[in-house]
Structure 1
Amino acid sequence: MDPALALALYERFAGDRLTFLYSGAFLDEHTARLINMQEEHLESEGASRVTRGKLTFVLVEAYQNIVRHRVKGASIMNGADRSLFLVRNAGQAHEVTAINAVAGAEVEALRRSLDRLSGLDLGEMKRIFLRGLQNEARTERGGAGLGLVEMARRSGNPLRHAFVGIDEQHQLFALQVLVGPSDGWLSTEALPMDLHQLVLNEGILLLHRGTLPAVTQENLIRMIELDMAEVRSGPSRADQAFLLMMGAVADLGVGGEGPMVTVAHRKDQATITLATPLTNASAGRVEKALDMVMALDGPALQRHYRDTLLGRTDGAGGLELGLMDLARRSIGPLRARILSWREMPLLVLEADV
């Protein structure tokens, strides 16, 4: 990823306490991991039980709508029909976006359902939902229709939506739900279709911006491991590289709004990109460590890594050791650049595995 693009992505989500984007294989078993990560964040933020319940329902329903109702046979990790799931948290505002391909024949019915919802109050939504549950002749898409009703009712806000053509038979369906104050939308009035294109161009599997507690790291590593198994015939080192990158984060001296880590996959190769503000006090130390590691060729890197482990080198600490380990496992050299974000140094560090 171009460092300028990494900086632009970091800035795009400025102010978010948490940003999580996923555009992988959409395995059903990831649902529990999403709940786990979101609960961990909301608990740390002191969110009310009511808010947590509403957001959990919306998150699960939006994710499951993609799992159940995306076009069968749609490209898992590439193609214009690629699905996208985005969660943004900022204070009292929690925004969930789901984008997936649907058959053109379904668009009109979906549009009618969404237009009808915009004119209903909460009581009417509840009656429609309960009536739908009692109807035994529910279609597969009818289940999604009830989910739309209940997401609108529980969130208490209108649902944003858009349709964008892919080809003669398919369209991208974008849905956005806000849990929180009605003026708390985090995205602009236009749904983030440009973000979908960026994900497609860069091959982004997932992105996480904000603090990364151990529980979140464990869930992300498992998601990476399972998703890479869906698209690679052989073993992947992406999960190991992600873990090493997280180890480096602990030694960097992170400032600002915390780290943003992106995992991308293209041409049977995974790329881990870290973009993180640094404290002014740590920037010089980080730059020195990077210069040292990136100046070493393969044999020299192995020797220096071994000598550091054995305590034979002076001045090398956890950061240097972590960077060397990451470089050892990478395809080609690490790439690093220090830019500026809101008067703070921002490190962009990247490894191919």
Structure 2
Amino acid sequence: MELLNKLRQKLSDENLMFAYRGEVTGDNSVSLLTLLEREMEFSDFSLLGRKRLFMFVLENLQNITRHGISKSAEITSLVVYNKTADGYTVSTGNALKKSEVRDLRKNLEKINSLEPDKIREVYRTMLQDSNIGRKGGAGLGLMEMARKTGNKLDYDFLPIDDKYSYFILSKTVDSGGKGISEPGGLPGTFDTRKVAQLEKMMKSNNIFFIWAGPLTHAISKELLNFSETTMREAELEQNLHKRVFATLIELLQNVAQHSPGFEAEKKYGIPMAMIRKTPASFIITSGNLIRRTDIDHLTQKLDMVNRYDEEGLKKLLKVALMGQDMSKISTGYMGLLEMARRSGGRLSYKFDEVNDDYAYYTVTVRVRAKVNRPQ
């Protein structure tokens, strides 16, 4: 639980909303974009701000899929969304060869030195260059980001080893469509260390993705779409894929079932979901604010589920599905039963007191790959 406490503190301190560490592909890019779009819709973010941020993310993800290097799980891409007082920050990270850093830095310095009208002029010139227009390139993509967003790009290069560097690109946009680098925009400066620390934390703890924010039906749907697409592309064993996906569904529904409302969550504890990947399992965690009056009966249900083995859980689920004796403790909590049955393991849980009215409730489930025994 120490990891959860550290993570919750970091989520709160940095207004972290979403983080994914893994390969960025054409397919999962769609869900990454749609997830941000759904959150912006929920927050009633301005149309101008939404458009500028969306175009930045679109071009950035395309740049990563075309030019980024994912050597292994040790060196892979990062996508991070943060909330700000009046907008959002989107940061990405990806590995590239050290030999490419000098030219890329020069391109970024040139782009950031240009006024918006000049950016459009240079962009048109680049498109007319038959070699650049036909082949594309990172320089053209960066120019496209600057042209469509109208703001400067924040960036940094961090050394990985003697061959590779980690390229971090970031943009903050407020509701007026302005960024931190633009006069009149949000105050503050781009802090590479926070992104680098998050990447290190996710790597050392095998964190696949984190979500911390509202879990509406539309947002939960996109989280599930993103997870399903990414797991499918990883070519997981089919049974493991299905059980992880089903367990995540139940956890997200569990959060929605006990939510006291987003206004209370904003004040006392934002909902979260996290998946960690180990060589032989996935570890799925959800956290959400609940009323303290719910603690006793939830504890009873969780302890009851944890007392049964796989066969016992099947029988218990059958009783619940038949609706027999719904007043008893053994029925009415099919979500918890399904989580335990599909994962094949215990439900680890914790309640942290927040105040006289609320507590923060976390549940962790480990879904292990099943070992095929010889006949």
TM, length-normalised to structure 2: 0.82
- Say whether 1:338 aligns with 2:351: yes
Q: Conserved in 2, the CA contact under 8 Å of 1:25 and 1:230?
A: no
SS in 2 for 1:219: helix
Post-superposition offset of 1:100: 0.4
Match of 2:338 in 1: 325
Q: Conserved in 1, the CA contact under 8 Å of 2:29 and 2:61?
A: yes
- Residue by residue over 1:284-331, the C-alpha shift from the partner in whole angstroms, topping out at 9 and shown as x without a partner, is 333332233223343433333222222334244987221111011113
Instruction: Label 1:49 to 1:317 Cα distance change in 2 as closer, same or farther (>3 A).
Output: farther
Q: Conserved in 1, the CA contact under 8 Å of 2:320 and 2:331?
A: no
**Whose relative contact order is higher, 1 or 2, with alpha carbons under 8 Å and at least 6 apart?**
1
Matches within 5 A, 1:229-248: 229-235=232-238, 236=241, 237-248=243-254
- Say whether 1:282 aligns with 2:290: no
Match of 1:86 in 2: 80
- Say whether 1:261 aligns with 2:273: yes
Post-superposition offset of 1:86: 1.0
Distance 1:256 1:185 in 2: 27
Match of 2:225 in 1: 222
Instruction: Label 1:132 to 1:251 Cα distance change in 2 as closer, same or farther (>3 A).
Output: same
Which of residues 125, 134, 144 in structure 1 aligns to 2:138?
144
Instruction: Label 1:35 to 1:232 Cα distance change in 2 as closer, same or farther (>3 A).
Output: closer
Q: Conserved in 1, the CA contact under 8 Å of 2:207 and 2:275?
A: yes
Match of 2:57 in 1: 59
Question: Once structures 1 and 2 are overlaid, which stretch shifts more, 58-67 or 137-146?
Answer: 137-146
- Residue by residue over 1:8-63, the C-alpha shift from the partner in whole angstroms, topping out at 9 and shown as x without a partner, is 32332338888122223322022332332233222222222212211110111121
Match of 1:194 in 2: 197
Instruction: Label 1:316 to 1:131 Cα distance change in 2 as closer, same or farther (>3 A).
Output: farther
Match of 2:116 in 1: 122
Which of residues 58, 66, 70 in structure 1 aligns to 2:68?
70
- Say whether 1:105 aligns with 2:105: no
Q: Give 5+ residue unaligned stretches, structure 2.
A: 181-185, 368-375
Post-superposition offset of 1:95: 0.7
Match of 1:349 in 2: 363
Match of 1:42 in 2: 40
Instruction: Label 1:324 to 1:190 Cα distance change in 2 as closer, same or farther (>3 A).
Output: same
Q: Conserved in 1, the CA contact under 8 Å of 2:288 and 2:362?
A: yes
Distance 1:342 1:115 in 2: 50
Post-superposition offset of 1:334: 1.5
- Residue by residue over 1:237-296, the C-alpha shift from the partner in whole angstroms, topping out at 9 and shown as x without a partner, is 211111111121122235523311012221032121112222334333333322332233
Distance 1:4 1:275 in 2: 14
Instruction: Label 1:173 to 1:234 Cα distance change in 2 as closer, same or farther (>3 A).
Output: same
- Say whether 1:170 aligns with 2:137: no
Q: Conserved in 1, the CA contact under 8 Å of 2:324 and 2:331?
A: no
Match of 1:210 in 2: 213
Partner AA of 1:307 in structure 2: V
Q: Conserved in 1, the CA contact under 8 Å of 2:353 and 2:360?
A: yes
Partner AA of 1:131 in structure 2: T
Instruction: Label 1:49 to 1:253 Cα distance change in 2 as closer, same or farther (>3 A).
Output: closer
Which of residues 87, 105, 126 in structure 2 aligns to 1:132?
126
Q: Conserved in 1, the CA contact under 8 Å of 2:21 and 2:199?
A: no
- Residue by residue over 1:53-108, the C-alpha shift from the partner in whole angstroms, topping out at 9 and shown as x without a partner, is 1111011112112111112x622xx11x1111112234522111110000111011
Question: Once structures 1 and 2 are overlaid, which stretch shifts more, 340-349 or 320-329?
Answer: 340-349
SS in 2 for 1:256: helix
SS in 2 for 1:177: strand
- Say whether 1:251 aligns with 2:245: no
Question: Once structures 1 and 2 are overlaid, which stretch shifts more, 283-292 or 83-92?
Answer: 283-292
Distance 1:101 1:188 in 2: 19
Distance 1:90 1:286 in 2: 34
- Residue by residue over 1:165-199, the C-alpha shift from the partner in whole angstroms, topping out at 9 and shown as x without a partner, is 22221111111111125325697463411111122
Q: Give 5+ residue unaligned stretches, structure 1.
A: none
Distance 1:116 1:320 in 2: 59
SS in 1 for 2:63: helix
Question: Once structures 1 and 2 are overlaid, which stretch shifts more, 267-276 or 184-193?
Answer: 184-193
SS in 2 for 1:118: helix
Distance 2:331 2:146 in 1: 49
Instruction: Label 1:15 to 1:192 Cα distance change in 2 as closer, same or farther (>3 A).
Output: closer
- Say whether 1:296 aligns with 2:276: no
SS in 1 for 2:114: coil
Instruction: Label 1:184 to 1:261 Cα distance change in 2 as closer, same or farther (>3 A).
Output: farther
Distance 2:218 2:16 in 1: 14
TM, length-normalised to structure 1: 0.87
Q: Conserved in 2, the CA contact under 8 Å of 1:17 and 1:91?
A: no
Partner AA of 1:206 in structure 2: F
Distance 1:318 1:222 in 2: 30
